[in-house]
Amino acid sequence: MINIIGAGLAGLSAALTLAEAGKKCRLISAQPSERAQSVLAEGGINAALDTMGEDDTPLLHFEETMKGGCYLAAPDAVRALTKNAPDIVRKLQRLGVPFNLNDDGSIMLRSFGGQKKKRTAFAKSSTGKMIMTALADEVRKYEARGLVTRFSHHTFIRLMTDAGKCAGVCARDDHTGKLYELRGDVIKCCGGLNGFFPEITTGTVTNSGNAAAALFSQGVKFANLEMIQYHPTTMGIYGKRCLVSEAARGEGGRLFSEKDGVRRYFMEERYPVLKNLMPRDVVSREMYSELRGGRKTYLDLTEIPDAIWDKKLSDLREEIMHYFPLDPKEQPVPVEPAIHYFMGGIYVNERHESSMRGLYAAGECACLYHGANRLGGNSMLGALFGGMTAAKNAQSDDSDDISERSGSEQFNCTAHPQFVKKSGEILARGLGIARCEADISDALSELNSLGCLGAVELARHELAAAMLLSALNRKESRGAHFRSDFPETNDEYRKTTVSCYKNGAVDITFEDIPENEDII
């Protein structure tokens, strides 16, 4: 039996792939699918469907993904991802995702950052919700047949291991507090590390990062932890950041800064080809520099025609009006960059195998496709394709081995809120849009002076230290990792940063990326 941890896009995709092959799995998640972060995805999913008369191809999608990621992603994996993208989107449409359509009935595509072709399929600006609804419904059919067994409201505690191999998971029923041991291969699909950055992330902090921290403390390798994507256009709401999707710029939104009544459309001035649709790392850095210069930054959506608002962005407009007393059709939206996506995570190869035999990972918790910077629209694709690939490679047996551990009611698997808040503030200082040795080192010292209260906090502490040490050791600027003391890209660092916890300490090394002559 295969245990899937996480029921967002990657977890559902893995479950569906296994079920379609007649294999049984357990779908274990802290929250039910309807509450997964995937539901928040707005703008769309990339695939070179070439329905807009632009001669797009999977090869161009591959090249732009590699370039956007500053050549840090694994080329063969990206090639497979981009090649399979059109079939994945067509399958989603067959499952009932209401993608916006062209007049000839083909799937309409919109522009997204870092891509010269229109390549992003969308369902207005609720694409994630629509895809999740279709997938959850499809998986439900296999639940009814007994091929998928749901364990919603179950929190991952740790891996069970046997002679260094992953032998299953230990999970807690959040209603009863009972602990269960579930044997078999494991596919981790537990989302990004948002819970390490409360209040300054667009994602959900119910993805606490505790599962990732537990794995790290158990010796599983992680990669590229310094690569954290700041999304340029977010608005502050009640203790978190609300995303204004890149789709808004894809449909004509323009960024400007303002000081003393003077407006500057800085992206258009500095980047005449892709303008407001440069990759997110570039846009975020430009906004950061405007803000540091005392110029407030805004997204101007007032020139977008009514028909586009009605057909493609109506739900985005409603969301902005819901949280702010302003109508984006009439007034510019004040925006600033905030933490949005984690390119780094569990180190996997193109089969989605982790460094521990029997353990696989897919979706935002894994590091494979996005290199130093993810292109918008590629992460839902990566989660779906990653879930499929991990499911095809995980080893399944027919045993249904599950046991309850006695005396487990008192088990605590939640980090102390004060620790989470404090460590989050420290990480934010060390891992800002622009970093330097002094800031990162100060953050490390502060982190080390925090008292660690128990096993969960200790594991989080180790993973947080690995993020900072990865940033400290990469002495160059590349994609989302901008070092003000090393502002140039240095090809000696075109390598994967690998973090591992061993002998009671965090170890950081750099590994070569397999060369692929087609893209060099």
Ligand X SMILES: Cc1cc2nc3c(=O)[nH]c(=O)nc-3n(C[C@H](O)[C@H](O)[C@H](O)COP(=O)(O)OP(=O)(O)OC[C@H]3O[C@@H](n4cnc5c(N)ncnc54)[C@H](O)[C@@H]3O)c2cc1C
Residues assigned a catalytic role: 280
Are 99 and 126 a contacting pair, CB within 8 Å? no
Stretch that binds ligand X, among 186-194, 255-263, 267-275, 454-462 (CB under 6 A): 186-194
Give the one residue of 36, 170, 390, 463 binding ligand X; rule: CB under 6 A: 36
Q: Is 191 in the site for ligand X (CB under 6 A)?
A: yes
31 token code pair = 């929250």
Q: Is 217 in the site for ligand X (CB under 6 A)?
A: no
Give the one residue of 19, 43, 197, 213 binding ligand X; rule: CB under 6 A: 43
116 token code pair = 């010269």
> Over the range 474-487, which residues count as b (16 or more CB within 10 Å of their CB) and which as e?
bebbbbbbbbeebe
Q: Is 156 in the site for ligand X (CB under 6 A)?
A: yes
Helix (H) or strand (E) holding 471, with range, is: helix 455-473
Stretch that binds ligand X, among 98-106, 176-184, 206-214, 511-519 (CB under 6 A): 206-214
Give the one residue of 69, 128, 250, 337 binding ligand X; rule: CB under 6 A: 128
* Count of beta carbons in the 10 Å neighbourhood of residue 460: 28
Which residue's CB is nearer to ligand X, number 75 or number 363?
363
496 token code pair = 């994967």
Report 320-349 residues binding ligand X (CB under 6 A). Answer: 341
Which residue's CB is nearer to ligand X, number 195 or number 443?
195
Which residue's CB is nearer to ligand X, number 208 or number 477?
208
Q: Is 196 in the site for ligand X (CB under 6 A)?
A: no
Stretch that binds ligand X, among 140-148, 306-314, 363-371, 459-467 (CB under 6 A): 363-371
Instruction: Give the span between the Cα atoms of 33 and 2, in whole angstroms.
Output: 18
Q: Is 9 in the site for ligand X (CB under 6 A)?
A: yes
Give the one residue of 233, 379, 470, 477 binding ligand X; rule: CB under 6 A: 379
CB of 490 to ligand X, least distance (A): 29
Cα separations in angstroms, 312 against 43, 101, 153, 237: 10, 10, 35, 24
Which residue's CB is nearer to ligand X, number 212 or number 267?
212
Stretch that binds ligand X, among 9-17, 60-68, 279-287, 302-310 (CB under 6 A): 9-17
Q: Is 115 in the site for ligand X (CB under 6 A)?
A: no
Task: Give the residues across from 510 on adjacent strands.
Answer: 497
Strands (E), 148-280: 148-152, 154-162, 165-173, 179-183, 186-188, 222-223, 228-237, 240-243, 254-259, 262-264
CB of 200 to ligand X, least distance (A): 13
Please list the alpha-helical segments (H only) found in 218-313: 247-250, 266-270, 280-292, 306-312
User: What mask, x for binding ligand X by CB under 6 A, covers residues 222 to 261?
Assistant: ---------------------x-x----------------
Instruction: Give the span between the Cα atoms of 119 and 113, in whole angstroms.
Output: 10
Give the burial class of 437: count Cβ atoms within 10 A of its Cβ; 0-12 exposed, 13-18 middle, 19 or more buried.
Answer: middle
Contacting positions for ligand X (CB under 6 A): 5-11, 29-31, 36-38, 40-45, 127-128, 155-156, 189-191, 202-203, 207-208, 210-211, 243, 245, 341, 363-365, 376-380, 383
